[in-house]
Structure formats: C-alpha cells, structure tokens
C-alpha cells in the first residue's frame, strides 16, 4: 500500500497539525506522500520543514507542495483531509491508479457520525469516496493517539512522571518558581479570560500563566499583576506545544488538534470549539460532554466557558478541587485508550478494501 494525503491549511494551523500527526503515524508502516498548499505555515509547527523545497523527506514522510499533485501519479490509496478539493488533473488520473479514496472528516461526538462512518459516496470520476469519521465511540474511527516520546500505560502518562517546572523551562526557557502551578492558555478571542485571571490571582498557591502567541493581551488589575506571573510565548513547534500540555496543571485549549492532544495529556482542561453560526458549535460541545464521565460541575464549567456565563465562584471551586478534576481526566483518557485508535482503524480498513480490490 502507498498513500497520498492531501491537506489545505485553512485556519489557525489545526488542519496541518492533524495531518502531520496522521502522516507521521501512517508512515511508520506505509509509504506516505503529504501534499500541503502552504509549506510556510507547515514550517511554523515543524522546524524540519523547508518551505522552499518540494519534495522533501521529513520523519519518513515525503512532503510535497500542493501544486506537485498536478503532475503526480495517484497512489493506490488517496486520503483527503476535511473535504479539501483535490486538483482536477489528479482527480482525472485516479481511476487508472487508485483503489481506495477516503475523506478523513472533522472530529465530532454527535450521534449521526456513527451512521455515516465508512459510508461510500460515488464521485464524478467513477470512484467511490468513503467517509472516515474520527470519534469517541467504537462505531467511529477513534482518535489520533499520542505521538512518540510519551511514557504511556494504557494510553495515559502517569502525571508524576512529568516534572512540570523543568519541562516548561526546557521548552520555553523560562525560570519558574518551584512552588508555582502552571496554566497553558490557547484560547479563542472571546474566551472569559478576565474571569480566569481574577480567580487564578486569588489562589493561595501562586500561578504562572503561559499565553499562546495568538492569545489576547491580558487586561489585569495592579493586584493581579502582582499575584500572577504571565508570559507570552512565541509561536512554538508542535512537539513543544505537546510538551507544555503534558506539563501544565491546567490547559485552556481550542479547535480540534489541541483538543485531542489535551485529552491524552490527562490534565485538567477546558475545551472551546471553533465558533460557528447559529451556535452549532455549542451542539457539538454538548454532544461531547454528554459522552464524558465528568461530573456535573465539570461539564457545566466547560459549557459555561463557551457561552460567556462562567462565574468566578464556579471556577474557584474547580481549582480548589484540581486533584479530583485531574483524576476525572485521567480516567477519561484511559477509557478512550481502550478503543482502537484512528490510525490502527484506518490501516485496517485500507488493507481490507485493497485486498478485495486485488481479488
């Protein structure tokens, strides 16, 4: 088997973040060509990428600029990420070379995903395209597992195995007092950060806040500036981003790529989904929360973060029970790790379909 994986960088590097994880894991056992329309964006999350070179080989994966696909012979297996439109010339030549075409879709916990997972859709070039849906149940494609370099037992790193302070210092070069807790914040602009800063500043144990490069500038009172240590990070590599998720005591994250990775970090986290018209994103959030083993207070906290209804006393209680919150996150990660991961299921499906095509 050989795979061509196509990715268009649409918004905030999440698309290429997911595709790079997918490509790296697939290429451990199957040759993969990754076609990307924005190598400059790609190079911001992976330092080994040369944005001016195509093709190039990184981590056993051959990287191409999108335009190379116009002259490329299609692979036996073609994967388009998130419904990106493949180049016309490539589409035209697929019937002579391609046995299986898949669309790896966006992650959702909604029930309709189970019905559409692995359903074929006949296309104009005569090949059926199969929809492959990541998800949280055994009737979906599962989740992308953590990348290499983690100590995992049943899918979850033991929290005590990570020295938070030394990890943060090695990744971002900051000297953090040993008595501080660490919050890693990668929010959307409308997140209730003022409430978060207010509550963190009230804690008995001091907090260091690591702000992602895209986070809004914090608005703090003089007292909060005295109580909180806030550092804005430069744009960091995907591997460093993952290390901070593992090290932080609290993660505030958004989108899809960081969402899945925060789950595997097994640390207390709040997820804010990508904002959509008519509050469709809130339906997705409710569907996911309904499938978690979190207690009612934790579910309400995460929901209220995205609906601008978060209360200071609500977050105060959550931070006072931080250990219990972490135990819930660890249990959830173990539960999900018991399912087959996305790459395992994807390879199995490809093998099955390609064997039938040969026969």
Q: Give the tens place of pLDDT for each residue, 132-155.
A: 999 999 999 999 998 753 444 544
pLDDT at residue 63 in the model: 98
DSSP for residue 268: -
Cα 177 to Cα 72: distance, rounded to the nearest angstrom: 54
Contact assessment for residue 125 and residue 92, using Cβ atoms and an 8 Å cutoff: yes
pLDDT at residue 155 in the model: 45
pLDDT at residue 238 in the model: 94
Q: Taking 80 as the threshold, does the pLDDT of residue 356 lie above it?
A: no
Rounded average pLDDT over 223-250: 93
- Per-residue pLDDT tens digits for 48-103: 999 999 999 999 999 999 999 999 999 999 999 999 999 999 999 999 999 999 99
Residues annotated catalytic, as ranges: 15, 256
DSSP-derived pairing of the beta strands 61-65 and 32-36: parallel
Cα 315 to Cα 194: distance, rounded to the nearest angstrom: 12
CATH architecture of 3-143+340-358: 3-Layer(aba) Sandwich (3.40)
- Per-residue pLDDT tens digits for 251-274: 999 999 999 999 999 999 999 998
- Higher local confidence (pLDDT), 214 or 359: 214
pLDDT band at 130 (very low <50, low <70, confident <90, very high): very high
Residues of the chain with CATH 3.40.50.2000: 159-337
- Higher local confidence (pLDDT), 20 or 173: 20
pLDDT band at 164 (very low <50, low <70, confident <90, very high): confident
The structure tokens listed for 333 are 């990660």
From the DSSP assignment, how many helices (H) and strands (E) are in the chain? 14, 13
CATH architecture of 159-337: 3-Layer(aba) Sandwich (3.40)
pLDDT at residue 150 in the model: 41
- Per-residue pLDDT tens digits for 193-230: 999 999 999 999 999 999 999 999 999 999 999 999 99
Contact assessment for residue 273 and residue 209, using Cβ atoms and an 8 Å cutoff: no
pLDDT at residue 22 in the model: 97
Cα 252 to Cα 186: distance, rounded to the nearest angstrom: 6
**Residue entry with tokens 């451990």:** 28
| pTM of the shown model | 0.93
């Amino acid at each position: 088997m050989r795979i061509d994986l196509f990715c268009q960088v649409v918004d905030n590097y999440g698309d290429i973040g997911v595709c790079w994880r997918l490509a790296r894991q697939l290429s451990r056992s199957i040759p993969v060509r990754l076609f990307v329309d924005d190598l400059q964006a790609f190079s911001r999350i992976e330092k080994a990428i040369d944005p001016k070179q195509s093709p190039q080989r990184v981590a056993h994966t051959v990287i191409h600029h999108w335009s190379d696909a116009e002259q490329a012979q299609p692979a036996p297996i073609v994967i388009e990420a998130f419904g990106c439109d493949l180049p016309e010339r490539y589409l035209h030549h697929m019937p002579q070379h391609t046995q299986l075409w898949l669309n790896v879709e966006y992650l959702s916990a909604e029930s309709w995903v189970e019905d559409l997972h692995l359903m074929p859709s006949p296309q104009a070039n005569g090949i059926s395209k199969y929809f492959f849906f990541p998800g949280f149940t055994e009737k979906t494609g599962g989740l992308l597992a953590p990348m290499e370099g983690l100590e995992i037992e049943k899918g979850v790193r033991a929290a005590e195995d990570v020295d938070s302070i030394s990890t943060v210092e090695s990744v971002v070069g900051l000297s953090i007092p040993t008595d501080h807790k660490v919050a890693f914040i990668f929010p959307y602009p409308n997140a209730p950060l003022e409430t978060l800063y207010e509550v963190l500043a009230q804690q008995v144990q001091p907090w260091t806040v690591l702000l992602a490069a895209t986070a809004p500038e914090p608005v703090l009172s003089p007292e909060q500036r005295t109580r909180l240590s806030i550092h804005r990070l430069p744009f960091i590599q995907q591997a460093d981003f993952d290390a901070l998720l593992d090290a932080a005591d609290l993660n505030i994250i958004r989108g899809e790529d960081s969402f899945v990775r925060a789950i595997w970090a097994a640390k207390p986290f709040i997820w804010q989904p990508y904002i959509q018209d008519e509050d469709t994103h809130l339906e997705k959030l409710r569907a996911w929360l309904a499938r978690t083993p979190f207690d009612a207070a934790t579910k309400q906290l995460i929901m209220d973060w995205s609906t601008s209804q978060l209360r200071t006393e609500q977050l105060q209680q959550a931070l006072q029970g931080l250990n219990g919150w972490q135990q819930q996150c660890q249990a959830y990660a173990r539960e999900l790790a018991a399912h087959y991961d996305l790459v395992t299921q994807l390879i199995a499906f490809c093998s099955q379909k390609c064997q039938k095509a040969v026969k």
